[in-house]
Structure 1
Amino acid sequence: MNATATPSAEQAQQDIVDEFAFFGDWTERYQYLIDLGKKLPPFPDALKTEEHRVHGCQSMVWLVPSGDAAKLHFAAASDSAIVSGLIALVLRVYSDRPALDILATEPRFIEAIGLAKHLSPTRSNGLVAMLAKLKAHAAQVAQ
């Protein structure tokens, strides 16, 4: 595979698992999440609308889909540093993929890196809500 090819969703998940395995404790992992969130592309204020808001998150999260069933792109942002890092992980696995691939991909990286145990209930709910909104959009365009 050449360097410009996008890894599959499964490979992206495995890469995330491998990266998080480098860190000895959750303080370091949270810092890494925050750093990932800081690398998200700029998100225009004009898109921070109620229509794009993900409900169920304690912090503000916006998710904007574009593209079609062949290749769906997602842009997202949050006002929370850790949630921005979660967004970075989710986009890495799900953005710029065919809708059917998105629907077929379970977010196993969440459990594999221990996120499920280390997120507050409100952050876990927000992550579930974000994935649900993303998958709902994929289902809509896949028809």
Structure 2
Amino acid sequence: MTLPADAQAALDSFEHCNSWEQRARLLMQWGQRLPELNEADKNETSRVHGCESQVWLVGTLQAGRWQFAASSDARLIRGLVALLLARVNGLSTEQLQQVDLPAWFNQLGLSRQLSPSRSNGLNAVLQRMRELAG
């Protein structure tokens, strides 16, 4: 399966990281680039349950392809969510169902840094995307 352009860009940038410090810095930069959600979109309906930090997610289907936007109050989570969005934005509903989250973060070299609670939180975000796409 061909990766979306943003996902390929993420892989290219992370493969040049030799240390966790470099990866963490890059992760924060991805989080900073995440466009801020409108306050109106930060509501109970768009809040993802199952995350320790606050995460909000909205999605729209445009010409058969999904575009998601998200925000979080935690800097590290913002970065992880930004990388998840890079992986899924532009996918069809069928492709979205096939995204392998652990494999994606493994490819980025970030899986070791995903605590069980962060991993569960990201799974909750992906699950919410699939519900919206359902």
RMSD: 1.9
How many residues are aligned here?
132
Contact 1:65 1:137 in 2 (8 A): yes
Question: What are the Cα deviations for residues 7-51 of structure 1, in whole angstroms up to 9, with x where unaligned?
Answer: x43665444333212111111111111111111112111111111
Looking at structure 2, the residues matched to 124 and 106 of structure 1 have their Cα atoms a distance apart, in angstroms, of 12
Q: Which has the larger radius of gyration?
A: 1
The structure 2 residue matched to 1:71, chosen from 65, 72, 96, is 65
Contact 2:14 2:109 in 1 (8 A): no
The Cα of 1:129 is off from its aligned counterpart by 0.8
Structure 1 residue 92 corresponds to structure 2 residue 97 = no
The structure 2 residue matched to 1:109, chosen from 82, 104, 109, is 104
Give every structure 1 segment of 4 or more consecutive aligned residues whose post-TM-superposition deviation is greater than 3 Å: 10-15
Alignment of 1:1-143 (within 5 A): 8-9=2-3, 12-67=6-61, 70-107=64-101, 108-138=103-133, 140=134
- Per the normalisation by structure 1, the TM-score is 0.82
How many percent identity over aligned positions?
Answer: 35
Looking at structure 2, the residues matched to 66 and 127 of structure 1 have their Cα atoms a distance apart, in angstroms, of 19
Question: Partner of 2:17: helix, strand, or coil?
Answer: coil
Question: Partner of 1:124: helix, strand, or coil?
Answer: helix
Q: Which runs of 5+ in 1 are unaligned?
A: 1-7
Question: What are the Cα deviations for residues 69-100 of structure 1, in whole angstroms up to 9, with x where unaligned?
Answer: 71211110001111111111111111122211
- Per the normalisation by structure 2, the TM-score is 0.87
Looking at structure 2, the residues matched to 115 and 29 of structure 1 have their Cα atoms a distance apart, in angstroms, of 8
